[in-house]
Amino acid sequence: AQVGRILFLPGDGIGAEVMTEVRRVIGWLARRGIEFAVEEDLVGGAAYDVHGVPLTDATMAKANEIGTVMFGAVGGPKYDDLPFALKPERGLLRLRKEMDLFANLRPAIVFPALAGASSLKPELVEGLDVMILRELTGGVYFGEPRGITELADGQKRAVDTQVYTTSEIERVARVGFELARKRRNKVHSVEKANVMHTGVLWRQTVQALRDRDYPDVELEHMYADNCAMQLVRRPKQFDVIVTDNLFGDLLSDCAAMLTGSLGMLPSASLGAADANGRRKAMYEPVHGSAPDIAGQGIANPIACLMSFAMLLRYSFDLGAEADRLEKAISNVLDQGYRTADIAQDGCTRVSTSGMGDAILKELDRLAA
Ligand code: NAD
Ligand code: IPM
Ligand code: MN
């Protein structure tokens, strides 16, 4: 039966390469009677090359209409000197903003087989399961005023504005407390209340929400610089980290290395639920287009495949299918299959599609 529609936006570089493996899993599900109607469109540099903009209004409208987007990655050196509004990354930011995807879930999970692939000692990361919850539609990414102006003396002046309202903080913090209740019941709220007004408001708002609606959840406040240090010092102290747009960007790349590679970190960006309980959502690996390895067929597709597992779980309530995909990934890692970024001694080195092959074979075995 047809379970729903997905808009595919593969984008640039390895974004398109890893999305090919998601297509294969969608084909596998279809053969088992779980069918998605997949439409595909251009974003990022790929859209700029054809349309002269990183995201057309038509694609934006389609994303809002379909409501569920599977995104690869955008960007590349070819586009680095374009004016701000035409950069590939603006396409991604516009999707997040106009779909109002304020809650970005970035789970950093260490698979048993990869404890030794982390840059930290295995005992520090074994069994790690941290959820970084990044606010995604506010803060310095979108605050006004912003831009570069010429000064009278010939200098230039650049401005970005960090801004948050109570309701923006509250709605993402609420997602954090709800997540924590289903996990280990602990939230770290991360800001810099010691230097930033947005940090002060963040801290007050999260504390007040906790005292009012989530007294059963443990809440700790932490400065963002300390959090970065604690993530590499003793990462297992964390359950859910809720933080702003920019700190969340930095802290999630940092957490990625605990799992072995940036190529392992998935994400789900969720909007608010409507009257029928449906929410708009976009799923994407945390990594970018990786120009240094693009076109070689060696990118790790696991972050993207795990993002697709999150799509199954959060957008279509297919928890069992999501579990099976994650189990298949965990098993092939146990069997020693490795892309270059997570290679270890004695492993079986595979390409992007080789990893896809192994995962599909394991899905067959698990479903038999
Ligand atoms: P990047 O994430 O593309 O790459 C960082 C490093 O990690 C590179 O060495 C890369 O080879 C490696 N890496 C990333 N994903 C990997 C994977 N799946 N398998 C193996 N290795 C992987 O970050 P960057 O180099 O800073 O940025 C490159 C471009 O991507 C820029 O234009 C940037 O703006 C863009 N970007 C896009 C997104 C996105 O679309 N969501 C995210 C981050 C960066
Ligand atoms: C990410 C990326 C994006 C961000 C860029 C490409 C706009 O780094 O999704 O982590 O900064 O949010
Ligand atoms: Mn990032």
- Global ipTM: 0.98
Residue ID of nearest Cα to ligand 1 atom 30: 288
Q: What number of H helices and E strands is found in the chain?
A: 12, 14
Residues annotated as part of the active site: 141, 192, 225, 249, 253
What local confidence, expressed as pLDDT, does residue 256 receive? 87
303 Cβ contact partners less than 8 Å away, ≥ 6 residues apart: 18, 262, 263, 264, 265, 266, 285, 286, 287
Find residue 242's DSSP bridge partners: 133, 189
Sign of CA dihedral 87, 308, 235, 122: negative
Looking at residue 164, what DSSP letter applies?
A: -
Tens digits of pLDDT across the chain (368 residues):
789 999 999 999 999 999 999 999 999 999 999 999 999 999 999 999 999 999 999 999 999 999 999 999 999 999 999 999 999 999 999 999 999 999 999 999 999 999 988 889 999 999 999 999 999 999 999 999 999 999 999 999 999 999 999 999 999 999 999 999 999 999 999 999 999 999 999 999 999 999 999 999 999 999 999 999 999 999 999 999 999 999 999 999 999 889 999 999 999 999 999 998 899 999 999 999 999 999 999 999 999 999 999 999 999 999 999 999 999 999 999 999 999 999 998 999 999 999 999 999 999 999 99
Q: How far is the CA of 297 from the centre of ligand 1 (A)?
A: 15
Q: Is 298 annotated as a binding residue?
A: yes
Which CATH number is correct for 119-259, 3.20.20.370, 3.30.9.10, 3.40.718.10, 3.40.50.620?
Answer: 3.40.718.10
| CA pair distance 84, 8, nearest whole angstrom | 24
| CA pair distance 351, 338, nearest whole angstrom | 8
Phi then psi for residue 354, to 5 deg, are -65, -40
Q: Find how far residue 25's CA is from the centre of its chain.
A: 19
Residue in 84, 27, 21, 95 with CA at minimum distance from that of residue 60: 95
Residue in 143, 170, 177, 173 with CA at minimum distance from that of residue 159: 143
What local confidence, expressed as pLDDT, does residue 277 receive? 87
Q: How far is the CA of 136 from the centre of ligand 2 (A)?
A: 10
List Cα–Cα distances, 212 to 167, 169, 176, in angstroms. Answer: 15, 15, 15
The ligand 1 atom nearest the CA atom of 284: 41
Contact 303 CB / ligand 1 (< 6 Å): yes
339, 350 contact by CB (below 8 A): yes
20 Cβ contact partners less than 8 Å away, ≥ 6 residues apart: 10, 301, 352, 353, 356
| CA pair distance 73, 24, nearest whole angstrom | 18
268, 307 contact by CB (below 8 A): yes
| CA pair distance 36, 94, nearest whole angstrom | 25
Contact 291 CB / ligand 1 (< 6 Å): yes
Q: Is 123 annotated as a binding residue?
A: no
Q: How far is the CA of 110 from the centre of ligand 1 (A)?
A: 20
Where do we find the tokens 């859910």? Answer: 240
**DSSP helix/strand/coil, 73:** strand
Encoded amino acid at 232, one letter: V
Residue ID of nearest Cα to ligand 2 atom 1: 286
pTM: 0.97
Identical fold for domains 1-107+265-368 and 119-259, yes or no, is yes
12, 287, 305, 353: which to mutate for ligand 1, most atoms within 8 A of CB? 287
In sequence order, which ranges of the chain are alpha helices (DSSP H)?
14-31, 45-51, 57-66, 88-98, 122-125, 166-181, 197-213, 224-233, 245-256, 302-316, 319-334, 352-367
The ligand 2 atom nearest the CA atom of 284: 9
Phi then psi for residue 222, to 5 deg, are -145, 140
**DSSP helix/strand/coil, 323:** helix
Residue in 255, 257, 238, 263 with CA at minimum distance from that of residue 119: 257
Cα angle for residues 256, 43, 41 (degrees, 5° grid): 115
Residue ID of nearest Cα to ligand 2 atom 9: 286
| CA pair distance 177, 242, nearest whole angstrom | 9
Q: Could you tell me the CATH superfamily of domain 1-107+265-368?
A: Isopropylmalate Dehydrogenase (3.40.718.10)
Give the burial string for 248-262 (b: 16+ CB within 10 Å, else e).
Answer: bbebbbbbbbbbbbb
**DSSP helix/strand/coil, 10:** strand
| CA pair distance 55, 75, nearest whole angstrom | 13
Contact 89 CB / ligand 1 (< 6 Å): yes
Q: Is 84 annotated as a binding residue?
A: yes
218, 108 contact by CB (below 8 A): no
Domain spans in the chain, listed from the N-terminal domain onward: 1-107+265-368, 119-259
